[in-house]
Amino acid sequence: MFIIFVATVLTLPILQVTNIDLDQYFITIGALAGAVVTVTEFFKGITFIGSSPSWVKQVISWIVAIAGAFVGNYFDLGVFADLNTTYTIIYGFAVGLIANGIFDFALVQAFLNLFKKKSES
């Protein structure tokens, strides 16, 4: 209990100095893809995923991408604001395509235009 208290007191100045604006990671799908790569690499470093086959790492990246899309949708951030569940999954899938290096941004943008709502045209 004492260790938790000391750790909390020591990290308070760091938490007050760093003001993280999460909205910047949800402005575009490319920005979220960069965040997905960072989060996936963090998970690989602290868990058993680092020594797993490459397909396991890609699956974790897809999960993080779709979860990130749902976070953006829930908090109405960036391009994920005002999307229904189907479009959130599609955008999360697109973020996963970029984060896994399968497609580049231009090709993913063309993919997303296939699913554009008819009322937006």
pLDDT in tens, 65-78: 999 999 889 888 88
On the question of pLDDT at 45 being above 60, the answer is yes
| pTM of this structure | 0.70
* pLDDT band for position 120 (cuts 50, 70, 90): very low
Measured distance CA(31)–CA(47) in Å, rounded: 25
Measured distance CA(38)–CA(78) in Å, rounded: 19
Sign of the Cα pseudo-torsion (39, 45, 49, 50, in order) = positive
Measured distance CA(64)–CA(103) in Å, rounded: 17
On the question of pLDDT at 38 being above 80, the answer is yes
Report residue 110 as tokens: 């063309």
Alpha helices per DSSP H over 27-84: 29-46, 54-74
Any idea how long the chain is? Answer: 121
- For residue 80, which amino acid is it? F
Measured distance CA(121)–CA(119) in Å, rounded: 6
Which pLDDT score is estimated for 66?
Answer: 92
Rg (alpha carbons) of the chain, rounded to whole number = 17
Report residue 9 as tokens: 């007191």
On the question of pLDDT at 13 being above 80, the answer is no
Which pLDDT score is estimated for 49?
Answer: 73
Measured distance CA(2)–CA(93) in Å, rounded: 44
Which pLDDT score is estimated for 24?
Answer: 80
The domain spans of the chain are 21-115
Which pLDDT score is estimated for 12?
Answer: 52
What mean pLDDT, rounded, does the chain reach? 77
